Amino acid sequence: MRRLHWWQRGLVGVSLGVLAFLYLPIVMLVIFSFNDSKVTSFPLSGFTLHWYEAFLANAQMLRALANSLWVALFATALSVVIGVTAALALDRYDFPGKRLFQNVILLPLSLPGIVTGIAMLNFYKQIGIPQSLTAVVIGHATALLGVVVSQVMARLAKINRRQFEASADLGATPFETFRHVTLPGIRSAIVGSALLCFTLSFDEIPVTYFLTGREVTLPIYIYSTLRRGITPEINAIGTVIVAVSFVLIVLSVTLLRDRERS
Amino acid sequence: MTLTRRTIPGFAALFSLPLAWVLLLMVVPYAIMISVGFWTRQFPLFYPDFQFGNYAQILADPQYTTVILRTLKIAACVTVCALLLGYPLAYFLVFTVRSQKLRNLLYMSVIVPLWVSYLLRAYTWKIILGTDGALNSLLVSTGLVSAPLDIFLYNQTAMVVTLVYIFVPFMVMPLFTVLDNIPRRLIEASEDLGVGPFMTFWKVIFPLSLGGVIAGATMTFCLSFGDFVAPVLVGGPDGTMVANLLQTQFGAALNWPLGSALATLVLALVLILLQLSSRLDRAGRVDLA
Amino acid sequence: MTSSPIVALDGVQKRYGAFVALHETDLAIAEGEFVTLLGPSGCGKTTTLRLVGGFEEASAGRIAIAGEDVTERPPYRRPVNTVFQDYALFPHMSVAENIGYGLTVRSGRIGRAERDRRVADALSMVGLDGMAERRPGALSGGQRQRVAMARAIVRRPRVLLLDEPLSALDVKLREGMQVELKRLHRELGITFLMVTHDQTEALALSDRIVVMNQGRIAQIGSPTELYDHPASPYVADFIGAANLLDAQALGGGAFRLAGGQTMASRRADAAAGRKVSLGIRPERLLVASSAGGNALDCTVTERLFHGDRLRVELALDGATRPLFAEMARTAAAEGFAPGSRVTVHADPADVMVFETGDRP
């Protein structure tokens, strides 16, 4: 082993610092969710599960949670169905306007959500649809399409084209080829991007902010509570959300990673 | 496949739903938003029109220009800071960590926070930087300061810190990908030709990673430019950003035409940046085969 | 070797965890030699080259180049340059920038005019005049190969390392480049150390070949030595080709094959009763329809057309492994259809004998 140069050690230092920067705040959130005090300050004053009990007893919060779960579920289902068909079409066919279509569908990935939210709000207003959770579902599905399309297309690009030709050569119809060759190849990308969509929709703020009506989602509920002030209850629900998201995201990233072995 | 009489039915079956969705729910809404930007307002109603009054107002009224310039400044700061933190981290992951397993684990641990509740991650900085927050209480209890400081929260620095925190993974992702794609042979070739690690970085690695720098910077800039949660949670009186203005136009101020015009400007900015970045990226792209 | 070697490996070993890529190895290469490391993939040849280049660190042993111990030195402090297998050209630099790269940095810095001159010289030496401003992406495989060569020689290394330099080229181009390599070696007068898995390439180019197997040197020698006097069945089969027959020594240069037939060798003997391998090169087996001395009875199983030559696969009575024989395309040879009974003769001077313990 060659010894590390000073600059390499510096690099290690900076990198560990950035990693700490990424995780310390989350650790704080978790710590204070168990801290027996109304303020989030050191030294810690004792262990409590009170804040968890509080949010479990908060009917409004639980209702918002249920809303969020439904919204995320439907938005994900829509994104996956539309996103996968779009990815297949984009991958397989050349047609006029392909690049433009692709750019439009991927635009929400780098466009601040607030613009999408405002555009859809204007649209709903014009066609007379009221702000509601349904409006939110459609908004989320639209904003998250890009996630599914980009991930599934990336996977499709890695599949050896000859497999499709071989399948057709062996007498499979296009649908059979999709079922037996294409789908197994992209299945983990679909599941991975679905998990990602679910988490993102569950946490979505900017689009939801403009499209939601009387019924709110959990992030909007938290957001409006926060504007009034901090309660450790938020730390508790926050810890739960972070924990669940973590599991879903790790799962998703694992599934989306190129399976280099195959 | 190109479209022929034989392939059109399959294509139509696949493509009609996504096309309809994109047209109806993306193209049409953006078009409506853009056209509402030309409408006039007579409180509390809006009338279809075609005039540039809203744009003129946005670009002439210091109330708006200040916020736009500030947002540009903050987004630029966030981008630069994220790059300065993200590049060493990506470099470290790709070139210093030798074990593939450890590298994947660390990379995952960098990008996972990116998708974890954006609201809560902004919120954590509120509980850290607040007057009776974690940082202050830590400083007081260790005796470094005698009374809690209120200089941490509700200012532009807090916003930059929070936004950098949120967007660093966005920077690391493309950087990691480009660095990881640089064939190790090129670095060996450079060292073989008598070039030390520093110059090898400067002449080989860095130029070949520019695509990732551009991609990461574009994403970070666009997304932090349109952020409205950080200003609300940790920004102070001088922390209003464009997104907060937008919020107001569709809320209390009830001026949708002006809001739509402003949102159109944001859309235009993002499109220009994306175009610019893809052009830069294409110009700089080299055949690594 | 009289003068001190330009490259000397002394007990060099390379381990990756429990896996030993290169067992303790000694190797000395003389100034100006063209030495080839030859072997199948995973034999340790590339590891050896990378150890000399400084891309791998030896787990044990010392490496000296031009009399200086370079074991601890990084690649950029070693007086060698490498032509990489996939060329490793910098894609963001022009051909001229690629070639001049090693002359712009501190360790090789020279004046601009001098640099331009040397780049131009190197370009014309590899026959690429007029290509200076191209990007590597716009070059053909053969042209990239030449740029890689030019880039490596422009710093005037003491030793040029070549890692499978021709493997990415198609057959026709490869043969042309072999001539080029030989010419460059002669004109430059520096030491070449090349890695290849292609024995034809090694035989055609090298002064000496180092045959490697499973992380060890199996044999070192000139191409003719290796071809005529392989030290083991492994080398016999790797350099050229060999029919290997399990046999038992009967004493007096006679051997009994597995099927009961006998063969004689004038090249070596073994104590009666010892198990040995007999090696006979396919082109040394004479196939005939009638009996003769030192002959084996066989049946033709396949006949393959190789242009001016024919290759015949034979089933030896009582043996499981087939024999191969190669011969000129004569009218008689054309008659050996599959199924015909033939006898094959071998001159006892062409029958190699390997004690089975020899196997490396």
ipTM reported for the complex, 2 dp? 0.86
Question: Is C358 a residue whose pLDDT tops 70?
Answer: no
**Residue B171 pLDDT class (50, 70, 90 cuts):** very high
Q: Is residue B19 part of a domain?
A: no
Q: What is the pLDDT of residue B287?
A: 59
- CATH number of the domain where residue B192 is located: 1.10.3720.10
Among C148, A11, C48, which Cα is nearest to B197's? A11
Q: What is the pLDDT of residues B124-166, one digit of tens each?
A: 888 888 777 777 777 777 777 777 777 777 788 888 999 999 9
Q: What is the pLDDT of residue A261?
A: 40
In chain A, what are the domains?
Answer: 49-261 (1.10.3720.10)
Q: Is residue B5 part of a domain?
A: no
Over residues C338-344, the mean pLDDT reads 87
Q: Is residue B121 part of a domain?
A: yes
Q: What is the pLDDT of residue C291?
A: 65
Contact A209/B247, CB-based, under 8 Å? yes
To the nearest 10 degrees (0 to 180), the angle between helices A113-127 and B28-36 is 90
Chain C partners of B196 at a C-beta cutoff of 8 Å? 74, 76, 105-107
Over residues C278-287, the mean pLDDT reads 88
* C92 in contact with chain B, both atoms CB, cutoff 8 A: yes
Cα of C100 to nearest chain B Cα, Å: 10
Nearest to B204 among C90, C135, C151 (CB): C90
Q: What is the pLDDT of residues B219-246, one digit of tens each?
A: 999 989 988 888 888 887 788 888 888 9
Contact C92/B286, CB-based, under 8 Å? yes
Query: Are the C-beta atoms of residues A86 and B7 closer than 8 Å to each other?
Result: no
Chain B partners of A246 at a C-beta cutoff of 8 Å? 112, 116
To the nearest 10 degrees (0 to 180), the angle between helices A133-158 and A59-92 is 40
Cα of A89 to nearest chain B Cα, Å: 6
Q: Is residue B9 part of a domain?
A: no
Among A54, A57, A66, A52, which Cα is nearest to A218's? A66
Over residues B173-188, the mean pLDDT reads 90
List residues in chain A touching C: CB distance below 8 A: 1-2
Chains contacting A with at least 3 CB pairs below 8 Å?
B, C
Query: Are the C-beta atoms of residues B193 and C151 closer than 8 Å to each other?
Result: yes
Rounded Cα gap, residues C153 and C224, in angstroms: 29
B130: DSSP letter: S
Cα of C72 to nearest chain A Cα, Å: 8
In chain C, what are the domains?
Answer: 7-233 (3.40.50.300), 241-357 (2.40.50.100)
Over residues C206-222, the mean pLDDT reads 94
Cα of B45 to nearest chain C Cα, Å: 58
Question: Is C297 a residue whose pLDDT tops 90?
Answer: no
* B282 in contact with chain C, both atoms CB, cutoff 8 A: no
* C172 in contact with chain B, both atoms CB, cutoff 8 A: no
Contact C76/B191, CB-based, under 8 Å? yes
Angle at alpha carbon of residue B77, lines to B76 and B83, rounded to 5°: 90
**Residue B284 pLDDT class (50, 70, 90 cuts):** low
Q: What is the pLDDT of residue C360?
A: 35
Question: Is B3 a residue whose pLDDT tops 80?
Answer: no
Q: Is residue B141 part of a domain?
A: yes
Work out how many domains chain B is built from and give that number.
1
**What share of residues in chain C are helix, strand, coil (percent, to 5)?**
30, 35, 35
> The pTM is what?
0.81
Angle at alpha carbon of residue A145, lines to A144 and A148, rounded to 5°: 100
Chain C partners of A1 at a C-beta cutoff of 8 Å? 57
* C79 in contact with chain B, both atoms CB, cutoff 8 A: no
Domain span holding position B118: 63-284
Lowest average pLDDT, out of A12-26, C22-36, C258-272, goes to: C258-272
* B8 in contact with chain A, both atoms CB, cutoff 8 A: no
Q: How far is CA C79 from the centre of its chain?
A: 24
Q: What is the pLDDT of residues B47-61, one digit of tens each?
A: 888 888 889 888 898
Percentage of the residues of chain B whose pLDDT score is greater than 70 = 97
Which residues of chain A, if any, have pLDDT below 70?
Answer: 1-4, 41-42, 258-262
Buried b (16+ CB within 10 A) or exposed e, B230-252: bbbbbbeeebbbbbbbbbebbee
Chain A partners of C74 at a C-beta cutoff of 8 Å? 2
**Residue C175 pLDDT class (50, 70, 90 cuts):** confident
Among B94, B57, B258, which Cα is nearest to B175's? B94
Residue with structure tokens 């900076």?
A14
Question: Is C61 a residue whose pLDDT tops 90?
Answer: yes
Q: What is the pLDDT of residue A259?
A: 54
Over residues C43-62, the mean pLDDT reads 92
Among B193, B195, B201, B287, pick the best mutation site for testing chain C contact (most C Cβ within 10 A).
Answer: B193
Q: What is the pLDDT of residue B289?
A: 45
